[in-house]
Amino acid sequence: SMKEAQPDIAQFVGALKQTILQSQYNAAKLVNTQLVQLYFFLGAAISRKAQQANWGDKVLETISAELQKELKHLRGFSAENIRKMKRFYEAYPLMLASCELANQMIQNTEIEISVIWSAVPTKLETSIQSPLATKLEMGSPLANQLATDFWSVSFTNHFAIINKLNKLEERLWFI
């Protein structure tokens, strides 16, 4: 039930909030790339946790409400946007490795990262056995070019692509 889940969610939201503040979230100042990476990382954290804890959609609304209450001066954390962040990561789990902000946050000792991040890869991350994934071995020139292009696309445009195209290969071609 929701009541039993509360402490877990409160702790989770607390760690998400630390992550957002650590990333110097300030929509005006944050370079597009960093904002896109922050949204991707938050989406990944929420998606992975939801999978592990069997959280339903209602929890996303709770997370959104708590974040908005805690971070009054920040915009961008509506329930709809939180759902988009989650979908963003779920559309591109293979981009996690190239998300510099995620790597920084996972190593950041000021955040209770274990609350929001388990080192164990999710089903989604391990199921990416497409020929594309092989072509995009981390560090290859192609992977580096894709990462540069991918993270420079705005969140809004990423969404337009996700909504129009179902196949990962098609989406990445578009980017």
pLDDT of the chain, 175 residues: tens digit per residue: 445 556 688 889 998 998 888 776 655 556 788 889 999 999 999 999 888 888 888 899 999 999 999 888 788 899 999 999 999 999 998 888 888 888 888 887 777 777 777 767 777 776 665 555 556 666 677 778 888 889 999 999 998 999 888 887 788 787 7
Q: What is the largest CA-CA distance in the chain?
A: 49
134 touches 30 (CB < 8 A): no
74 touches 64 (CB < 8 A): no
CB atoms under 10 Å from CB of 48, counted, come to 24
Q: Write down the pLDDT at residue 141.
A: 77
| pTM, entire model | 0.81
Of 95, 86, 6, residue with least CA distance to 51: 86
> To 5 degrees, how large is the angle CA 27–CA 57–CA 150?
40
